[in-house]
Amino acid sequence: MDKIVSLAKRRGFIFQSSEIYGGFAATWDYGPLGVELKNNVKKLWWNRIVRSRLDVVGMDSAILMHPDVWEASGHVEGFTDPMIDCLTCKSRFREDMMEKPGQCPNCGGKDLTEARMFNLMFKTEAGSVEGSTQDVYLRPETAQGIFVQFKNVMTASRLKLPFGIAQMGKAFRNEITTKSFIFRSREFEQMELEYFVKPGEDEEWFDYWVSERDKWYKQYGIKSEHLHLREHDKDELSHYSKRTIDIEYDFPFGQKELEGIANRTDFDLKAHIEKSGKDLVYFDEQTRDKFVPYCIESSAGVDRTVLTFLCDAYEEDVIDNEERVVLRFHPAVSPVKVAIFPLMRKEPQINMAKDIFDSLKGCFNCMYDQTGSIGKRYRRQDEIGTPYCVTVDFDSIEDKAVTIRNRDKTDQVRIKAAELKSWFDGKFE
């Protein structure tokens, strides 16, 4: 894990937030490569869940919502973690983080408080006039934005069951245990799908979505042996869930949740019907039935997915008797798709390499690099997972051909520069 954290910082994937002020706990900033990687993760999710399907639409709701939303959803009452304070070292930890019963996981001290419940929602105030402000919460999940707009989205898009509404966006939780890099932070992003079905068809759809989501990770290169489906025991289920399966990943710090798939039944829509007094029922035109749909949720963390891709891609190997670090990202995930180099820092080669950069930059993310030996430049790209490097050499000026070097096999092909665009076509999907 230390190697990944240090690579992430050195190469500009992920930095500690507010680092020059000593950092701010459990918040992270994405650098130039990190933002590309994260955007790729979101794009691949959105394309699969929303764009490629007839039965799912997207939306983007506000982070601040009416405080009653969180009363209705049960978050004000129940979104809590049992926390214990160590009176010896003053650390606070979640009850389930205790490795040995009655012993502080930080200092081993035994002078502990009883477990006390802490709400994980961040509270703030809306309005600026003293006395007229209103307590509001930063959303701890994006899902409620979907439930409260269920009727509007369904009507506007003329949707018939089964159908889904998806959104991606920031969520905030005042987590106490915040180690493990971007795995658990206080500000993070979620990618959530709420898929509405007829009651009675929920179990079948639940299985369908577990399998779809599992396939998605594998398709983009996560090794099957590192992914596990873990069913929640009855006493572990959230207050809204009839059944939950977590997709877990073997992180360097253990097997942990990457995504949760839950059968939320009609819990949320019913809760909002009751609290708001609004009619959020579904009318089946064929059977003339009115009912509240059941909902299957797939809830994945963007940051945890980024971390999963980083951990799974990280490898050290030896090429030409030289050790290298390589991120073996699936090409669709790689932050940079193609790096372009002039072999020598000479004008005709530089100009040709920059022309190639200009001709490709509109199609996918490219990088230009003219410093250091060619071997060093390859290593720099391997370390950030760039699948292809294009080199313009002395002969290129005459024959208008360039060399393409592949990250994984490190083999090379020579093709006409004019054919590059079509050669790369379809390679980053």
Report the interface residues with ligand ATP, using CB under 6 A.
173, 175, 184-185, 188, 190, 257-260, 299-301, 303-304
Amino acid (1-letter code) at residue 349: Q
Q: Is the CB of 174 or the CB of 370 nearer to ligand ATP?
A: 174
286/256 Cα distance (integer angstroms): 44
In the complex, the smallest distance separating the C-beta of residue 99 from ligand ATP, rounded to whole angstroms, is 17
Residues 6+ apart with CB under 8 A from 141: 171, 190, 192, 299
In the complex, the smallest distance separating the C-beta of residue 174 from ligand ATP, rounded to whole angstroms, is 9
Q: Is the CB of 258 or the CB of 336 nearer to ligand ATP?
A: 258
Q: Is the CB of 187 or the CB of 201 nearer to ligand ATP?
A: 187
In the complex, the smallest distance separating the C-beta of residue 194 from ligand ATP, rounded to whole angstroms, is 13
Q: Is the CB of 38 or the CB of 184 nearer to ligand ATP?
A: 184
Q: Is 365 exposed, middle or buried, given 0-12, 13-18 or 19+ CB atoms closer than 10 A?
A: middle
Residue 190 has a CB neighbour count (10 Å cut-off) of 21
389/245 Cα distance (integer angstroms): 41
Question: In this chain, which residue has its C-beta nearest to ligand ATP?
Answer: 301
In the complex, the smallest distance separating the C-beta of residue 91 from ligand ATP, rounded to whole angstroms, is 18
Nearest partner of 330 among 247, 212, 427, 420, judged by Cα? 427
Q: Is the CB of 120 or the CB of 350 nearer to ligand ATP?
A: 120
In the complex, the smallest distance separating the C-beta of residue 81 from ligand ATP, rounded to whole angstroms, is 8
165/338 Cα distance (integer angstroms): 35
In the complex, the smallest distance separating the C-beta of residue 304 from ligand ATP, rounded to whole angstroms, is 4
Q: Is the CB of 301 or the CB of 335 nearer to ligand ATP?
A: 301
Strand ranges for 225-363 from DSSP E = 227-231, 243-251, 254-265, 282-284, 289-291, 294-301, 314-319, 322-327, 338-342
295/195 Cα distance (integer angstroms): 5
Q: Is the CB of 169 or the CB of 331 nearer to ligand ATP?
A: 169
In the complex, the smallest distance separating the C-beta of residue 123 from ligand ATP, rounded to whole angstroms, is 17
**For residue 394, what are its two tokens?**
């002395």
